[in-house]
């Protein structure tokens, strides 16, 4: 038995129209969209992030992304609320990953109070100047481009595949291999 796909509702149609107006830079449409869906998106963010202040901050980022990507929404590929929830979900998960992976900087206390020791200990956590840039330059162009789209622009794997015209599996491989190469380079 095949799963039935739900027919678009009046609410879906309303959201689709608002997203279309947002794609045409209609700020009033964004305001209306915010009024309609922000409570649902906020509840989703609270559930994932568990912190109200952080959820409020991410909600604003989500609406910036919705505004910037409204033209990318395709009603024939899914419901508008699902599309917006996925943006919220990806933003919150990316933030949690970033927080988890961020180094905790704890300065070492010099034993004898020597100023030279303090200077060495406070900069001990800094990578050599330009190391990240050198490591990025070692990546292939597709890897570098996909990583930029994923981590700078916040694009999903599916969106990157559409933007680059590459198969989804290839995009995932470029990102995975690029991250592995970066890790190896930064650790050496």
Could you report the per-residue pLDDT of 72-116, keeping only the tens digit for each?
A: 999 888 899 999 999 999 998 888 887 776 555 555 545 555 545
In a shared domain, residues 82 and 133 = no
Note if the pTM is more than 0.75: no
State the total domains in the chain. Answer: 2
Q: Rounded mean pLDDT of the chain?
A: 81
183 or 63: whose pLDDT is higher? 63
**pLDDT at residue number 65:** 94
Does the residue 82 lie in any domain?
A: yes
- Domain with 79, as residue range(s), is 10-101
Does the residue 169 lie in any domain?
A: yes
Does the residue 166 lie in any domain?
A: yes
* Weakest mean pLDDT among 48-57, 120-129, 150-159: 120-129
How far is residue 136's CA from residue 72's CA, in Å, rounded to a whole number?
28
Distances (CA, A) of 22 to 25, 34, 53, 145, 159: 5, 11, 26, 27, 19
Does the residue 118 lie in any domain?
A: no
In a shared domain, residues 172 and 93 = no
In a shared domain, residues 37 and 93 = yes
Q: What confidence tens digit (pLDDT) does each residue in 160-172 have?
A: 999 888 898 889 9
């Amino acid at each position: 038995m095949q799963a039935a796909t739900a027919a678009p509702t009046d609410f879906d149609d309303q959201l689709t129209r608002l997203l279309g107006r947002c794609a045409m830079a209609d700020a009033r449409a964004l305001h209306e969209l915010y009024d309609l869906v922000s409570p649902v998106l906020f509840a989703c963010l609270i559930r994932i992030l568990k912190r109200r202040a952080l959820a409020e901050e991410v909600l604003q980022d989500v609406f910036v992304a919705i505004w910037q990507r409204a033209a990318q929404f395709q009603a024939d590929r899914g419901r508008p609320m699902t599309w917006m929830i996925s943006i919220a979900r990806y933003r919150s998960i990316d933030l949690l990953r970033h927080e988890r992976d961020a180094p905790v900087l704890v300065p070492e206390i010099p034993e004898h109070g020597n100023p030279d020791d303090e200077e060495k200990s406070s900069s001990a956590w800094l990578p050599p100047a330009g190391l990240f840039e050198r490591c990025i330059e070692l990546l292939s162009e597709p890897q570098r481009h996909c990583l930029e789209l994923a981590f700078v622009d916040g694009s999903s794997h599916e969106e990157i595949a559409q933007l680059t015209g590459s198969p989804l599996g290839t995009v995932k491989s470029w990102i995975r291999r690029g991250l592995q190469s970066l890790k190896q380079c930064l650790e050496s």
